[in-house]
């Protein structure tokens, strides 16, 4: 009997150890395989502080750069994954992502190169351009009143960049609600997450290029009266004063508090003051309007869900280990 009890006890111990091992191996992590929060702890422990210092410097010069850094992460990760490809220059034989129609007016590339130069001085060949984009977007968001979130590092840089890929993957500012849902679903995001990440429009500015279809060509007539009828009439007049018909290059703030990350974006959308067709589209669907209404109120989960969405986005198509390269300058492959 004693021997049988010992055998049973030993079997129980083995079972517990095996269960613990399985639990440890299958524990959920918010990060893609190969990424970790302490990735540069030994090779470049000052990486995060260098990025943070430069983002602070840029925001002191122009607080609206927060929107630019957010846009860079989105426009990078949505096209072939978070591999820094949005930063690459075109070559004689290739038109890069930055030349795509949907990337018109993209800002922040030169600033990322400044950060990269500082990191190369401190830790040559260690920190990827792809990771810089992730850190800069987080730091910039937090510095203008938005949420912060943990960032995992370890991405490597891609060597391919295609304007056709950008125009095929990124959502154009004329999509309706179902088009937006389909675009985000293709990257693994649901409708609520799409509405949450649209909240990035609470900071930043845009060229008139993306607004004109909302003001003058809403139904395809291409005239001065062809404005979205759901748009607040006074707001439409305001936009037309800043973006005359045919003017693609003037710039305008996307949000009424464009230098501060807050809930004003959702309030504006509910009032018919969405800058883009995609903004106004969020409330054309009853479920979408319910989310927008919720996020417009104090105490909503917008900040928390936005942070989670940015972490999730940062996992898209990452290159790790020996894939890709660590570019010495972000606009050129090695």
321 annotated ligand-binding residue: no
79 annotated ligand-binding residue: yes
Q: Are 292 and 283 in contact (CB under 8 A)?
A: yes
Choose the catalytic residue: 75, 101, 214, 242.
Answer: 75
Give residue 12's pLDDT band: very low, low, confident or very high (50, 70, 90): very low
pLDDT in tens, 187-226: 999 999 999 999 999 998 899 998 999 999 898 887 889 9
pLDDT in tens, 139-158: 999 999 999 999 999 999 99
Q: What is the pLDDT of residue 28?
A: 64
Mean pLDDT of 244-262: 91
- Determine the Cα–Cα distance for residues 215 and 222; give it in Å rounded to an integer: 9
Give residue 18's pLDDT band: very low, low, confident or very high (50, 70, 90): very low
Query: Could you tell me which residues are beta bridge partners of residue 207?
Result: 251
- Determine the Cα–Cα distance for residues 320 and 334; give it in Å rounded to an integer: 17
Q: Are 88 and 96 in contact (CB under 8 A)?
A: yes
Residue 239 clears pLDDT 70, i.e. is over it: yes
Three-state DSSP state, 24: helix
pLDDT in tens, 259-290: 999 999 999 999 999 999 999 999 999 999 99
Rg (CA), the chain: 23
Q: What is the pLDDT of residue 29?
A: 72
Burial class (CB in 10 A: 0-12, 13-18, 19+), 74: buried
Q: What is the pLDDT of residue 221?
A: 82
81 annotated ligand-binding residue: yes
Is residue 242 flagged as an active site residue?
Answer: no
> What totals of helices (H) and strands (E) does the chain contain, helices first?
14, 2
- Determine the Cα–Cα distance for residues 10 and 55; give it in Å rounded to an integer: 57
For residue 281 the two structure tokens come to 């589209």
- Closest CA relative to residue 195, chosen from 131, 140, 108, 266: 266
139 annotated ligand-binding residue: no
Helix (H) or strand (E) holding 140: helix 129-143
- Determine the Cα–Cα distance for residues 68 and 311; give it in Å rounded to an integer: 18
- Determine the Cα–Cα distance for residues 80 and 317; give it in Å rounded to an integer: 6
329 annotated ligand-binding residue: no
Q: Are 316 and 73 in contact (CB under 8 A)?
A: no
pLDDT in tens, 292-317: 999 999 999 999 999 999 999 999 99
222 annotated ligand-binding residue: no
- What is the value of pTM for the model shown? 0.88
Q: Give me the residue label for tokens 């088009």.
A: 179
- Determine the Cα–Cα distance for residues 2 and 180; give it in Å rounded to an integer: 67
The residue count for the chain: 334
Q: Does CATH place domain 46-204+254-315 in 3.40.470.10?
A: no
Q: CA 121, 123, 128, 131 torsion: positive or negative?
A: negative
Percent share of the chain, pLDDT over 90? 83
Query: Could you tell me which residues are beta bridge partners of residue 122?
Result: none
- Determine the Cα–Cα distance for residues 235 and 274; give it in Å rounded to an integer: 9
3-state helix, strand, coil in the chain (%, to 5): 50, 5, 45
| Residue 21 C-beta-side C-alpha neighbours within 13 Å | 6
Neighbours of 258 (CB within 10 A): 23
- Determine the Cα–Cα distance for residues 7 and 206; give it in Å rounded to an integer: 71
For residue 289 the two structure tokens come to 């309007």
Q: What is the pLDDT of residue 30?
A: 82
Q: Are 102 and 115 in contact (CB under 8 A)?
A: no
Domain extents for the chain? 46-204+254-315
Residue 6 clears pLDDT 70, i.e. is over it: no
76 annotated ligand-binding residue: yes
pLDDT in tens, 22-57: 444 444 678 989 999 999 999 999 999 999 999 999
Helices 65-77 and 129-143, axial angle in degrees (round to 10): 140
Residue 88 clears pLDDT 70, i.e. is over it: yes
- Closest CA relative to residue 330, chosen from 83, 78, 69, 74: 83
For residue 43 the two structure tokens come to 């090779």
83 annotated ligand-binding residue: yes
């Amino acid at each position: 009997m004693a021997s049988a009890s010992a055998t049973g006890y030993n079997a129980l111990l083995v079972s517990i150890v095996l269960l613990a091992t399985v639990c440890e191996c299958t524990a959920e992590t918010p990060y893609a395989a190969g990424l970790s929060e302490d990735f540069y702890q030994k090779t470049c422990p000052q990486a995060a502080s260098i990025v943070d210092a430069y983002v602070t410097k840029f925001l002191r010069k122009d607080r609206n750069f927060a929107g630019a850094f957010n846009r860079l992460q989105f426009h990078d990760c949505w096209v072939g994954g978070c591999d820094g490809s949005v930063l690459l220059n075109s070559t004689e034989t290739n038109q890069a992502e930055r030349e795509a129609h949907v990337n018109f007016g993209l800002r922040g590339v030169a600033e990322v190169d400044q950060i990269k130069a500082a990191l190369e001085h401190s830790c040559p060949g260690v920190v990827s351009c792809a990771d810089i984009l992730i850190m800069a977007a987080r730091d910039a968001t937090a510095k203008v009143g938005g949420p912060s979130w943990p960032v995992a590092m370890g991405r490597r840089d891609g060597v391919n960049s295609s304007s056709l890929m950008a125009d095929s993957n990124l959502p154009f500012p004329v999509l309706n609600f179902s088009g937006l849902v389909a675009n985000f679903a293709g990257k693994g995001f649901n409708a609520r997450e799409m509405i949450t990440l649209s909240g990035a429009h609470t900071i930043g500015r845009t060229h008139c290029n993306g607004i004109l279809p909302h003001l003058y060509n809403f139904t395809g007539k291409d005239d001065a009266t062809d404005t979205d009828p759901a748009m607040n009439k006074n707001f439409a007049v305001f936009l037309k004063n800043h973006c005359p018909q045919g003017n693609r290059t003037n710039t305008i703030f996307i949000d009424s508090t464009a230098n501060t990350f807050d809930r004003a974006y959702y309030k504006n959308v509910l009032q018919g003051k969405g800058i883009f067709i995609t903004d106004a589209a969020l409330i054309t669907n009853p479920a979408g309007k319910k989310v927008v209404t919720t996020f417009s109120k104090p105490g909503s989960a917008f900040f928390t869900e936005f942070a989670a969405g940015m972490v999730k986005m940062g996992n898209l198509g990452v290159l790790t280990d020996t894939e890709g390269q660590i570019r010495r300058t972000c606009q050129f492959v090695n």
